[in-house]
Structure 1
Amino acid sequence: MGAVSPRPRGLSDALGDRSGWVFALLRRFRPILSTGPFTVVTRSDDVRAVLGDHEHFTVAHYTPKMAEITGPFILGLDDTALYRYDHAALRAVMRRDDVPAIGDEVLAAARARVAAAGTGELDVVHDLADPVLDGIVASYLGAPGPDTATQLRWARNLFEHIFLNASNDAAIRARALADAAEMRPHVDGLIAARKALLATDTPVRDDVLTRLLQAKEQDGGLHDLAIRHNLIGLITGWIPTVSKAFAMVVEELLRRPEELAAAQRAARAGDQQLVASYVFEALRFRPQTWALLRVCAADRVLAAGTGRETVIRAGTRVLVATRSAMFDGSVVPDAGRFRPGRAWGDYLHFGHGLHTCFGLQINRVQLPALTMALLEGGDLVRAGNLRWDGPYPAGLRIRRAGRS
């Protein structure tokens, strides 16, 4: 395949870059803004109310897109029996006590990538985040792609159509359906190959795929097709979001020399918890998404009894501005200041309510681990601007100070 030209960024991406002053005005003057089929919710209390009310504000927009990609998986299911069953089945095999080992593996892989760059330039997307995340998906989920580039393309194009294609752009949909047609038989093949190994005495890796296949349906396990649906969903929700979040963290720190220097001192001291505090505060200023989409299932009054009370009509698509909520000074202390060590409740990086990110605990270790590996060496200097391909970072080059 020849080189593909980078795609332009959409309006929502551009707004995400420049939304600070826009949301500040909205929070003050029009905190609930209705514009045709969309309503934008900007204040923290209202954002949390919408995300916490899964009965009235649903993920129905995603459901048909997931169905044409592979089938239902938890990221696009409302609070149904199927959601509860699949969520429990996945939680049984993706265990909290796996998290420290995942963090260690990400840190080791990232350190190896940084070391391989030596004193030369390093692209934190192409050379670091993407291959490390592809590796952890392969080793922990048991779901490698044919190669890193293909797995990344699949995940990004599927994610863009399911979660970012609010206008149902035909070209975005066509790319996703073409990639899904490649990905489904690939994942089916992984499942079949692992089942064949499990039927013998051959030792197999204790990963998520093995655990899913060992769990019997009568004991709460998943059938093979449901395993495929959810593996595709996990891959799609994992790689694009974490890669972008990491690039956003690095970009924000590069724009803040004092904070970057402090974060590097923490990394060199081996204080990953302190590094994490810089990571998630940087991500507040430059999040990987500015809003989440919900669909109003039935007429619902939002902010009842306040001056901003609004009736959200059934069928309205609600843009829940999590970025704005994290800067709501009525709730978030000293909201405009970069302040590492904030209470975790100040953040909405991973959503809220029923659809809080399934990989929350993993993300709380893998993002700091990636950052730790990058920061613990010599002083970082930007070697190029952040480049984009549609909604995704395509590259961000850094080097060590004193090197050219």
Structure 2
Amino acid sequence: MSYLAKIETLPEGARWPQLRDWMKTEPLPLFAELRAHRPVLVLPELTLVTRHSDCVDILARHDLYSVAPYAPKQGSYWMAQDDTARHWREKSIMRALLDRERIPEMRAWAEAEATRLLSESCDAVDAVRTLTRGVPIAFVQHWFGFEDADPEALLKWSYWNQMDAFWNQPFDAPAFATADEIVASREASNDEMRGYLVGLFQKKGGQLQAGGAPTDMISRLIVMARAGVLEFNAELAVLNAGGLLIGAVETTSHAAVNAARVICEDPVRLEAARAAARSGDERAFDGFVFEALRFRPAFPYFFRIAEDDTALARGTDHETAIPRGAMVLAVTHSAMFDPTAVSAPETFDPRRRLQDTFTFGYGVHECLGRAVGAALIPAIVKVLLLDATRSPCDVDYRNGPVPEAWRWQPV
């Protein structure tokens, strides 16, 4: 029996939970059937869109499909806004301050830090705690200016904000905590983070007044806020510093685990990736990492709210009217396997271009730290895959949406 036939035998309230489970356990055959026979699938909770062209339309049309679902989680932060002056101004400021010229140096630093952290573990190692979370936390401390922060606190602040914004929406059913518990943990984390950041800004502001150089992100944010030439004050600088941390840790960890996992699942693929890593050709190795993320993305979909009565897939044989306020999921995991847009989609091809995927989002809300993430993730994965002294066990999700532990045993 096909997926759609099975769904039609279920009560309406059981259909989305079943589909959500298949999206985790059997995504590619499910998506192939949906693209072929029901590319726009309307359910009581939401509407799933699975073809490439329709996903692009949703993510490009922020006037029709907005990020309003983020507002209850992120308040006035610019990521919860679409085409606003504040969105463009603050995003532009943060991108300008991210030191893109130093990306090669950042990558080399991350690889060296991953090597150091792994070398300190002489037996079995938890790759999540040690590397995929450990390296981004150390990166935030070293490059962004959080050097005196407690690593456990940085992890907690990033984690609960990610859990609430991305995995605690009305259509979710979190099993690792209740919806209210997740919100409470995010709010408590933000109170702690705000207190820390205010103190950090005061300290670094004093160092700048004493003649110090703005060598990290926090210091440059202070200089920008003090300049007074833009609508960007100290309060907004603190808010954006928090956003910088929140976006850097958990998403990097999730992506690094997913990429390494897909590569490790095939011995031939693993050996080819190791050969590329040893060759020193970063572009060749990165192809393995980002192709693996096409097969297992950290975010299989992006959710939006319809801002008006409209039609999905307008002008096609699957055109579907949806009302204002409808929740829409652009299932980009499916879109990256749509044969109308992707050549030989079922083939693992490390020569594909990262730009042809949705790994870092699409459109107005493309990832702020795309350039940093595109260096940091492969640096971590490379060190993990080149460790021939250990082999991976199963990833432990602890009933949640992200990798929480990944034990690598001595060979």
Letter in structure 2 aligned against 1:106: A
- Mapped contact 1:299–1:312 kept (Cα < 8 A): yes
**Contact 2:52–2:335 (8 Å) recurs in 1:** yes
The residue identity in structure 1 corresponding to 2:165 is: I
Counterpart of 2:31 in structure 1 is: 23
How far apart are residue 117 of structure 1 and its match? 2.8
Match of 1:328 in 2: 338
Verify: 1:124 aligned to 2:127, yes or no: yes
Shift of the 260–221 alpha-carbon distance from structure 1 to 2, 3 Å rule, reads farther
Q: Distance in 1 between matches of 2:199 and 2:69?
A: 30
Aligned-residue identity in percent:
30
Aligned length in residues: 385
Cα deviation, residue 218, structure 1: 3.1
> Which of 64, 67, 70 lines up with 1:59 in the alignment?
67
Q: 2:218 matched to 1:214?
A: no
Give per-residue Cα distances to partners, 1:1-28, cap 9 Å, x unaligned.
xxxxxxxxx9857733432222111111
Task: Output the CA distance in 2 between the equivalents of 1:379 and 1:282.
Answer: 23
1:76-115 equivalence runs, <5 A: 76-115=80-119
Taking a change above 3 Å as real, the CA distance of residues 217 and 30 of structure 1, as seen in their structure-2 partners, is farther
Corresponding residue number in structure 2 for 1:166: 169
How far off is 1:221 after superposition?
Answer: 6.6
Give the secondary structure class of the aligned counterpart of 2:152. helix
Residue 378 (1) aligns with residue 381 (2): no
1:363 aligns with 2:373: yes
Deviation at 1:64, TM superposition (A): 2.5
Please report the RMSD computed on the Cα atoms of aligned residues, expressed in angstroms: 2.0
Equivalent residue runs for 1:291-310 within 5 Å = 291-310=301-320
Q: Is 2:306–2:325's contact at 8 Å kept on the other side of the alignment?
A: yes
Distance in structure 2 (CA, Å) of the matches to 1:220 and 1:92: 14
Q: Residues of 2 paired with 1:46 and 1:363: CA distance?
A: 26
For residue 380 of structure 1, report the CA deviation from its aligned partner.
Answer: 5.3
2:407 aligned with 1:397: yes
- Amino acid aligned to 2:383: A
Question: Does the Cα contact within 8 Å between 1:16 and 1:289 map onto a contact in 2?
Answer: no
Partner of 2:159: 156
**Aligned 8 A contact 2:95 2:369 in 1:** no
1:185-232 C-alpha deviation (Å, 9 max, x unpaired): 11111111111111113x345011111111244333721110111111
Contact 1:158 1:176 in 2 (8 A): yes
CA distance in 2: counterparts of 1:343 and 1:257, whole angstroms: 23
Assess if the C-alpha contact under 8 Å between 1:212 and 1:222 holds in 2: no
| Aligned partner letter, 2:166 | F
Compute the displacement of 1:259 (Å).
0.4
- Listed one character per residue, the Cα deviations across residues 24-70 of structure 1 (whole Å, up to 9, x for unaligned) are 11111110111124111111001011001111111111112212xxx
1:264 and 1:55 map into 2 onto residues whose CA distance is: 44
1:145 is displaced (CA, Å) by: 6.9
**SS of alignment partner, residue 89 of structure 2:** helix
Q: Answer whether contact 2:124 2:408 (CA < 8 A) is retained.
A: yes
Q: Which residue of 1 aligns with 2:136?
A: 133
Please identify, of 309-318 and 368-377, the stretch whose mean Cα deviation from structure 2 is larger.
Answer: 368-377
Q: Which residue pairs with 2:235 in the alignment? A: 225
Q: Which residue of 2 aligns with 1:235?
A: 245
- Aligned partner of 1:5 in structure 2 is none
How far, CA to CA, are the matches of 1:31 and 1:340 in structure 2?
Answer: 28
TM-score (norm 1): 0.90
Identify if the C-alpha distance between structure 1 residues 217 and 17 changes in structure 2 by more than 3 Å, giving closer, same or farther. farther
Could you tell me which runs of 5 or more consecutive residues in structure 2 were left unpaired when the two chains were aligned.
Answer: 1-16, 173-178
Query: What is the deviation of 1:109?
Result: 0.6
Matching residue's letter, 2:167? L
Q: Determine whether 1:181 maps to 2:191.
A: yes
- Which of 313, 326, 330 does residue 316 from structure 1 map onto? 326
| Counterpart position of 2:288 | 278
Does the alignment pair 1:255 with 2:282?
A: no
Check if 1:190 corresponds to 2:200: yes
Residue in 2 aligned with 1:73?
A: 77
Q: Which residue of 2 aligns with 1:3?
A: none
Q: Which runs of 5+ in 1 are unaligned?
A: 1-9
Q: Distance in 1 between the 2:243 and 2:148 partners?
A: 14
One-letter amino acid matched to 1:209: I
Letter paired with 2:219: T
Deviation, structure 1 residue 74: 2.8
Change (3 A) 1:376 1:258: same
Counterpart contact for 2:22–2:30, Cα < 8 Å:
no
